[in-house]
A and B are shown apart, each in its own frame.
Chain A
């Protein structure tokens, strides 16, 4: 589904990302871990064509992401709060994203019913603009919005940070059920080794922009990762 070849990103003389080859097959739930500055967000930004690669390319479903925009129809993402529109209410934001993804209001309303538990009665019909919600609730809205319109590729940067334990557990459950659907490719990054090992089928460790580990998740993965990071 997603193919990376000879991808690198330099700022001046500093290489922040350098991936020779990385292929993420369709339907995989893929986790990216690494310390700060390892290049996780850079990779996602490149995948979403928000920055330009210095060399190499990423193709999504055979489409080069920086040459054509056709990949946008089946890709959705939540990177950070700058993906939210502060002056809309959560409902309006969902409807707006729905509009862009060809879903009408009724579709969105049915879609949102599944998330009542996660929203915990703090988000819908509260007569609040997104900018007035707490950071955690904003994140919930962003992640849920990224699921609108049955995307085939979902990119979530640090989806568990800032969330309360209950929501973390619910989102993990949700991501696992998504990974059962073999048409949906999910890309997640996280600092939290527990979360990624629970959710992802495959984990790639980045360090200073390079891939240092590529693991298919097994019961021993968590220990392996912990010993790697405990330096």
Chain B
């Protein structure tokens, strides 16, 4: 039975159009993974000597245990955004003679093979070996490694519970932020010192192997909690049934000012407001807007002006990046219809462009209060906004021509936690890195202002050439029309 499942997964993975079209992205991901593994390996090997040298009085073993708490919090956040429960498309299996519990055990069991679970081991095992080399008790070290494996799996299953909870609320990322925030705060203000508690706990287990039963019990508990949650959801009238909201009709007459692109603007706005997936990209605006607060108040970053550019691009462009990277996949559900209608591709794309540009301007205006941290920041945000409108918007729309992944707008939240995998985040990187790379030489060789000017000039060139670029992009889209129709008409 298990081999059947694996066979299905294999086929699902390699037979999707998406895989075939994005070998390059997959390679990039693979490199990224290898890079991370390498970093963790180096860390695992070098941590012991470094700690020994930097803190000769402290026991490196204890120090590592002390910081584990922070790793767990970080791991939880990373997993929340990147790791998804590997649920196969279960619906067709439901009526087949397969025990439900078997399917669920398989899904949960498979999740333990996630990359995230192995990553920490690449650091833990070499560190453990270093401990043994340095005359720590072998049994103790082995149990320590065992506890950490256990903890990793606990995080693994805890994450799915949190995601499940998050999927039920509109502000999907709030529970995780709140949870991690509370733990961090309680620890930071020494109300409950989780870091020490955890550290003592782990050391206790390492010293008294019988205590290992406690983390194992926690793990088993979480596993069966997950099992229960999934089992409840394996009914088509539960997780697969949609709640019907009463439809609100709006005519959005004000968009008529935009002339011939008005119908598409209205469609896009309704798309954003009425579907779960795109709606979350509106909520992300709030995070984006507050992003600067991570950096600007901190004096450490005051002289790192390239950060202003990064934050500026991010703050003014967060909607652009979030919404833009799925053009034209947002419309994948009815792409065939659009293509058989009497529309001009250019108007269709122009509506998206207008929407993105408007968001950049709005975000810039909303980010004006950052001037409190210095005029330079406002200037940098302004330059970033112009660059976003002139360059990034066009780049992201051009990249959209390579979009082959259908988005299912109606998809219920139950099996579609975040909807964005690691790939989608990677797309954003060049959009933020390139402007910094343009800015830096001007900054080092001439001045801060000249760097900003370079970005503004580039942005203005993009805006001036807008018509020409749009014609080019339209041509590209028309050229791949049949491929897109074909890819969008496939599920998964």
Give the interface of A toward B (CB within 8 A): 48-52, 69, 72-73, 75-77, 79, 82-89, 91-92, 96-97, 99-101, 126-129, 131-132
Contact = CB atoms under 8 A, between A and B. Distances in A.
Chain A binding surface, main DSSP class: loop
6 contacts: A48-B339, A49-B340, A73-B342, A79-B336, A83-B334, A99-B262
B247 to A, nearest CB: 5
B175 interface: no
Interface string B335-368: 1110111110000000000000000000000000
Interface in B124-156: none
Given A51-B485, A87-B271, A100-B263, A72 B247 contact: no
Contacts of B336: 50, 79, 82-83
A128 B341 contact: no
B270 A77 contact: no
Interface residues of B, number: 31
B410 interface: yes
B407 to A, nearest CB: 12
Contact of A129 (B247, B335, B341, B485): B247
A92 B249 contact: yes
A76 B342 CA distance: 9
A127 to B, nearest CB: 5
A52 B247 contact: no
B409 interface: yes
Contact of B343 (A83, A85, A100): A100
B410 A127 contact: no
Contact of A86 (B262, B333, B486): B333
B467 interface: no
- A-B pairs, top 3 by smallest CB distance, nearest first, are A83-B337, A99-B263, A72-B342
B270 A88 contact: yes
B376 interface: no
B334 to A, nearest CB: 5
Contacts of A88: 267, 270
A72 B333 contact: no
B244 interface: yes
Given A48-B340, A73-B342, 16 more contacts: A49-B339, A50-B340, A79-B336, A82-B489, A85-B267, A85-B334, A86-B334, A87-B409, A89-B249, A99-B263, A101-B341, A127-B246, A128-B244, A129-B245, A131-B410, A132-B247
Interface in B233-255: 242, 244-249
Interface string B156-194: 000000000000000000000000000000000000000
Contacts of B244: 128-129, 132
Nearest to B273: A87
Contacts of A85: 267, 333-334, 337
A41 to B, nearest CB: 11
Contact of B339 (A50, A52, A76, A99): A50
Nearest to B478: A69
B337 A96 contact: no
B115 interface: no
Contacts of B246: 127-128
B275 interface: yes
B335 to A, nearest CB: 8
B270 A101 contact: no
A87 B270 contact: yes
